[in-house]
């Protein structure tokens, strides 16, 4: 595989040193087993938590103090995700010669980013007469993202700026997105959308790395109130689906549940993601529900939940590395027409309808 220069993806020391000591924060077939747990809090509404406030008071509050967040974390669900053992299809495109190019990223069963050698060893199966997938024998060509030499990826960041996201939380989100942009080879364009009870595009789609890095920097002047999660996602999704690049990724960071949207419903979001084949990465903390994160990510996407954003760990770091070092697989024309197909890389699979 022509993978370009191999650069290990690591978070900067300021993050890595913190993450290294923390426990933790869509497809082995198309649905990952992950590390799911109940998303029910370990408290009832009238459980006293801090500053004379109950768990229910804090759930309904626009703001949660840093001190309360620290005490509240003991009552929140454990960290969880569905990222391990996943082969994700970021998009695909039919080529002029009838072949199909598929853009992939993923983690193996041990939670490590799929290697260049794994993509070289990929194979594709077709549906046989008995209804089971059988090896096609087709020779696939693998090209690492670093060697593509063409614009292939559109990346939409949608960030929660509700009042409960404190500056420390926003700083973590900024660093995650900064490090992803810095690690990706120049095959992308990106946009940054912020939301609270209103939605604003901070940085429109651009291929200028410096402009995008500036766009993901936290905005201390954005008015922070409620959580119009669906409006934020809907606006970002509409903008993303209008792009012409074959691989499209939506990354959403939130710490609460929907309570202020007026333009979009959850069903709009879920349908749009499915219809347009968008790969979604949901990051959630505090009162965000694991079941909601999983539902919005969809069967193709991944989600990460952790009580506090400060607790995001190496598994998210691994996924950022997987995206930076993904690959395009070219399936020959004869095989590409025999849908459905099943791709297998290092034991992980994804189906193409």
Q: Which domains does the chain have, with CATH numbers?
A: 14-40+77-83+150-324 (3.40.50.410)
Q: Which two tokens stand for residue 220?
A: 């201390």
Q: pTM for this structure?
A: 0.87
Q: What is the pLDDT of residues 76-102, one digit of tens each?
A: 999 999 999 999 999 999 999 999 999
| Distance (Å, whole) CA 325 – CA 3 | 8
| Per-residue pLDDT reduced to its tens digit, 291-350 | 999 999 999 999 999 999 988 866 689 999 999 999 999 999 999 999 999 999 999 999
Q: Which residues are paired to 305 by β-bridges?
A: 80, 284
pLDDT band at 141 (very low <50, low <70, confident <90, very high): very high
The pair of structure tokens assigned to 38 is 């109940």
**Residue 186 in contact with residue 148, Cβ under 8 Å?**
no
User: Which SS3 state, helix, strand or coil, does residue 192 take?
Assistant: strand
Q: Are 54 and 40 in contact (CB under 8 A)?
A: no
48-52, 128-132, 225-229, 281-285: segment of lowest average pLDDT: 48-52
| Res 312: pLDDT | 83
Closest by CA position to 312, among listed 238, 255, 263: 255
Residue 66: C-alpha distances to residues 71, 101, 341 (Å): 9, 47, 49
Structural contact between residues 86 and 32, judged by C-beta atoms closer than 8 angstroms: yes
**CA nearest to 68, candidates 78, 54, 81:** 54
Q: Is 183 exposed, middle or buried (0-12, 13-18, 19+ CB in 10 A)?
A: middle
Give the residue from 266, 319, 258, 303 showing the smallest Cα distance to 34.
Answer: 303
pLDDT in tens, 231-282: 999 999 999 999 999 999 999 999 988 999 999 999 999 999 999 999 999 9
Q: What share of the chain is helix, strand, coil (3-state, %, to 5)?
A: 30, 25, 45
Mean pLDDT of all residues in 117-136: 95
pLDDT category at 34 given cuts 50, 70, 90 is: very low
The mean-pLDDT minimum among 38-42, 144-148, 207-211, 240-244 falls in 38-42
Answer yes or no: is pLDDT of 15 > 80: no
Find the length of the chain.
353
Spatial distance between the Cα atoms of 109 and 162, rounded to a whole number of angstroms: 36
């Amino acid at each position: 595989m022509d993978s370009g220069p191999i650069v290990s993806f690591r978070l900067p020391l300021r993050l890595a040193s913190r993450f290294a000591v923390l426990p933790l924060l869509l497809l082995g077939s198309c649905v990952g087993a992950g590390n799911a747990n109940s998303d029910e809090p370990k408290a009832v509404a009238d459980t006293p938590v801090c500053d004379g406030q109950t768990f229910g008071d804090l759930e309904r509050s626009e703001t949660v103090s840093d001190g309360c967040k620290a005490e509240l974390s003991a009552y929140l669900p454990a960290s969880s995700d569905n990222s391990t053992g996943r082969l994700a299809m970021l998009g695909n495109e039919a080529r002029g010669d009838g072949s199909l190019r598929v853009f992939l990223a993923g983690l193996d069963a041990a939670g490590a980013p799929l290697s260049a050698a794994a993509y070289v060893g990929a194979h594709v199966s077709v549906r046989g007469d008995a209804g089971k997938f059988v090896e096609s024998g087709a020779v696939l060509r693998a090209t690492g993202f670093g060697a593509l030499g063409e614009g292939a990826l559109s990346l939409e960041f949608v960030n929660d700026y509700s009042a409960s996201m404190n500056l420390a939380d926003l700083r973590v989100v900024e660093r995650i997105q900064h490090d992803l942009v810095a690690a990706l080879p120049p095959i992308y364009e990106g946009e940054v959308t912020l939301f609270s009870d209103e939605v604003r595009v901070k940085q429109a789609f651009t291929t200028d790395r410096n402009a995008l890095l500036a766009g993901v920097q936290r905005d201390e002047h954005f008015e922070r109130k409620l959580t119009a999660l669906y409006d934020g996602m809907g606006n970002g999704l509409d903008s993303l689906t209008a792009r012409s690049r074959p691989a499209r990724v939506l990354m959403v960071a939130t710490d609460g549940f929907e309570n202020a949207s007026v333009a979009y419903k959850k069903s709009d979001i879920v349908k749009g993601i499915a219809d347009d084949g968008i790969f979604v990465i949901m990051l959630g903390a505090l009162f965000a529900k694991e079941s909601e994160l999983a539902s919005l990510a969809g069967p193709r996407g991944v989600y990460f939940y952790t009580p506090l954003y400060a607790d995001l760990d190496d598994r998210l770091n691994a996924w950022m590395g997987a995206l930076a070092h993904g690959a395009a697989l070219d399936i020959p024309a004869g095989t590409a027409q025999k849908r459905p197909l099943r791709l297998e890389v290092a034991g992980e699979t994804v189906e193409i309808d």
